Amino acid sequence: MAAAPPTRPALRARYDKRQLEVIEVAARVFAERGYHATSVSDLTEATGLTAGGLYHYIGSKEELLARICDALMQPLLDRAREIVATDAGPEEQLRTLLRTWVEHITIYRHHMLVFAQERHVIEHEPHWRAVRRQRKEFQELLDGLLERLEAAGEVRFGDRGVALMALLGMVNYTPQWLRPRGRLGADELADGYLDLLLGRQAA
């Protein structure tokens, strides 16, 4: 485990901030070099700390991975829950969710890349159940939205399961190619994906 966070109120905020910085830096380095290929000394170099200093903020290298996954999934899941709970129509909900999702992915690009690399561990090790459940809940929220979209007659998928997986695929693949300050904005891209999903490309 990491050292207990400071009890002195004046230091608590700083501790939390530094810990978050460490997580962000680790996400970047893991994304570039790979989680397993990154040594603790790579991390000390990237953070400017030494081994001891680093372990003041984290419990282990693996905990770092868990924190990265949580920092990625939790806020997205929260937003998704909110969006689905509004009384907007399914298509508008989906558009909003997709824009939020794609924007989230551009912000948490490194976290996504780490998540994609380590997916095999997260999906199979019992110990990663919490992250797996977050991923699954998001997927179910999305599937529910597609179902309501079909029910409303906005679209008829040949196979809703295929459409769902295709959508997950195209969005999750985005960090692999999207350049941060490139030609495409997040909303633009999200709308592009939505058009494909709903068959809005002109024949």
Partner DNA sequence: TCTTATACCGAACGAGCGCTCGGAATTCGA
Partner DNA sequence: TCGAATTCCGAGCGCTCGTTCGGTATAAGA
- Enumerate binding residues for DNA (CB under 7 A): 3-4, 6-11, 14-15, 18, 36, 38-41, 48-53, 55-57, 60-62
Q: Does 40 bind its own copies (CB under 8 A)?
A: no
Place of tokens 């007659």: 153
Position among 40, 137, 172, 187 found at the interface with its own copies (CB under 8 A): 172
DSSP single-letter state for residue 59:
S
Position among 50, 74, 86, 176 found at the interface with its own copies (CB under 8 A): 176
Burial group, residue 159, by CB count within 10 angstroms (0-12, 13-18, 19+): exposed
Helix (H) / strand (E) element for 136: namely helix 129-151
Task: Indicate the residue among 144 and 173 with the shorter CB distance to its own copies.
Answer: 173
Kindly state the smallest distance separating residue 167's Cβ from its own copies, in Å. Answer: 8
Q: Does 54 bind its own copies (CB under 8 A)?
A: no
Residues 6+ apart with CB under 8 A from 101: 76, 80, 171, 190
Of 16, 110, 29, 28, nearest to 58 (Cα)? Answer: 16
Kindly state the smallest distance separating residue 155's Cβ from its own copies, in Å. Answer: 6
Q: Which residues bind its own copies (CB under 8 A)?
A: 31-37, 113, 116-121, 124, 154-159, 161-163, 165-174, 176-177, 184, 189, 191-193, 195-203
